[in-house]
Amino acid sequence: MLFENPMHSRLSDSPRREPSAIARAIEMMDYARRSPASLGGRGGHKEWLHFVVLAPGVDLLVNFSCCDEVRPGANHAVLPRLVLLSRTDTWDGDIENFAPEDAHVEGGRIAFAFADNRLEFRDGSFHLTAALRERPIAVRLCLKPLTMPVFVPSTPMLDGPPLHWLVVPRLQTSGVLCVGGRDHVLDGAPAYHDHNWGHFLWGHDLSWEWGFVLPDDAAVPWCLTFVRLTDRKRITALEHKLLLWRGTTLSRSFREGELAVETALAHLPLRSIFKAPRPMALLVPELAADVPRHLETHAAAGSDWLSCRCEPYDVVQVCIPSETDLGVTIFNEVSARAQVRGQIGGEAVAFAGRSIMEFIRYA
């Protein structure tokens, strides 16, 4: 992989406008970190930028990632990977890997090129173009952030250094998703973005439940994201947070000791599960996803309180071979409806919305 000097070749030569406060914050915080292994630093680095768009009748997930190869003889090679999944009538999509020589990432910027797939932040928006080689899915998006990013550093891990997380929970989309020759116009659709990086292996003593809620009504000023990171058996909590934005800024954060989670004892019944990449369905053919019928997060601190109930209705699985044994790490990407209510700073909070949750499980 060629990591380019941010002062040199860029993905776009278009003139830059004076950035807004949100754009400046993203440029300062959301840039590619890159692995230090090639410079003699620690290996096992992972980094990904994740986007979710929720349009009428459409769920869309796009993920650009760079992960250190940990196989013997890899010699600090970095694996560039694109995940592109869409749900229209049904789920479809794939995971594609790229040769190091076909990938270019600019350190210190958001500028990724995996063959013909591009992700760049310029003129105050994320510009994303991606197309799968073996599935009839392509997307071209402009995602304008509407909220300030929040950086959540140094989440403790049991098997290594801490994990870092940056989140921009609310963006506005313009663009087109093409699936099977049919165009889906996404103009005005709400979207979510986060960026994660750290040193760990799939198969480590790690699990998480994460999600966000974007309101159905664009006039509602509230949006939120939540995460609970635990050990693999989901007994010991390493981090538990709920972040609530009002308008462009973070309004309230709740953390360990202020949060409780209730889940249904029954699992979501599923007649089929789309799994990516497709060959992994041979290794994990089961329909059980270990996803509850509902997940409810309760937060309370002082006079502030919040309740968020998410009810899943569909699941797609991303299946990654373990890097520590012969098992499989399963990412359950869960489409859900959500209801949020509470009181923050004396102001009532009440809205309905959509959510994508992610549950990490193992097989």
Tell me whether the CATH fold assigned to 1-200 matches the one assigned to 202-363. yes
Which single residue is written with the structure tokens 């098992």?
327
Buried residues in 277-299 as b, exposed as e (16+ CB within 10 A): beebeeebeeeebbbbebbbbbb
Computed from CA positions of residues 31, 32, 37, 43, in that sequence, does the dihedral angle turn out positive or negative? positive
Say which CATH topology domain 1-200 has: AttH-like fold (2.40.370)
Dihedral (Cα; 71, 74, 77, 78), 10-degree rounding: -20
- Measured between alpha carbons, how far is 190 from 245 in angstroms, rounded to an integer? 15
pLDDT for the residue numbered 74: 61
pLDDT for the residue numbered 73: 62
pLDDT for the residue numbered 18: 57
**Predicted structure pTM score:** 0.91
Hey, where are the domains in the chain?
A: 1-200, 202-363
- Do residues 62 and 186 touch, judged by C-beta distance below 8 A? no
Which class for 346: exposed (0-12), middle (13-18), buried (19 or more C-beta within 10 A)? exposed
Provide block-wise average pLDDT over 10 residues at a time, the chain (363 residues): 32 52 96 81 87 97 91 74 95 94 91 97 97 96 97 81 92 97 96 93 84 97 94 84 97 95 88 90 80 95 98 94 85 96 98 95 84
Q: Which two tokens stand for residue 207?
A: 């699990």
- Measured between alpha carbons, how far is 314 from 335 in angstroms, rounded to an integer? 5
pLDDT for the residue numbered 5: 31
**CATH class of the domain defined by 202-363:** mainly beta
